[in-house]
Homo-oligomer: A and B are copies of this chain.
Amino acid sequence: MKKIAEPTVRRLSLYLRFLEDFEKAGRSTISSGELARSGGTTSAQVRKDLSFFGSFGKRGIGYSTHDLTAHIREILGLDRVWHVVIVGAGRIGSAMAGYYGLRERGFHVVAIFDADPRRVGQALDDLTIADVRHLEADVRRLHAHIAVLAVPSDQAQGVAARLAKAGVRAILDFSTAPLTLPEHVTVRRMNVPLELEALSHALAAR
């Protein structure tokens, strides 16, 4: 399967949510127009997005909700289980450990790490906070695919490099430092200060 452009992936995630709602409501087919309205886009865009992976729709009938759901789940890699480790058991890391609905999408948090000896060994939900000194060994043992990086920004590069070396190829990064990592590691960022600055710019620019 080939990699799809980022904005398309984002729309597929949104379509999936609407499809799941439609499926729950007992709807067996859905039109590109309905998907477009839900996603705030156009029918043409929906058809273009979905045409990437073959043709599903039937003219005048629409898409099979069930088939389209299954196909998008496959494209998004949601047809399997991903092992997720969290590094940093502060407030953000703890929030991620208990994030509602991740497990049912196949994202299983298998470990959480911290450097603070007062935190290591403490229980967090059904996990025990592990010592970040054992990061590499634990990542390999647990076959972690994805890491959530929730450490102070001045430690982010060091931890990210260790994760990459241990075989992690996908990082969700809450730090604000720039990361330099091998090409094959995909990083998505959740940068709170940057988003707030985009908001303060919008307010200031009126």
Partner-B contacts on A (CB < 8 A): 1-4, 6, 9-10, 12-14, 17, 38-40, 74-78, 80, 82, 84, 90-92, 94-96, 98-102, 105-107, 145-146, 152, 169-172, 176, 178, 186, 188, 190, 192-206
Contacts and interface: CB of A to CB of B under 8 A. Distances in A.
The 10 closest A-B pairs by CB, nearest first: A77-B204, A77-B200, A91-B95, A170-B199, A3-B205, A186-B202, A188-B195, A13-B197, A95-B95, A13-B194
B170 A4 contact: no
Contacts of A77: 197, 200-201, 203-205
A38 B177 CA distance: 11
Contacts of A95: 90-92, 94-95
Contacts of A84: 196
A205 B170 contact: no
Q: How many copies does the complex hold?
A: 2
Given A40-B178, A95-B91, A82 B194 contact: no
Contact of A9 (B106, B169, B192, B197): B197
Contacts of A205: 1-4, 77
Contact of A99 (B107, B192, B203): B192
A186 B75 CA distance: 31
B78 A197 contact: yes
A79 B34 CA distance: 45
A10 B198 contact: yes
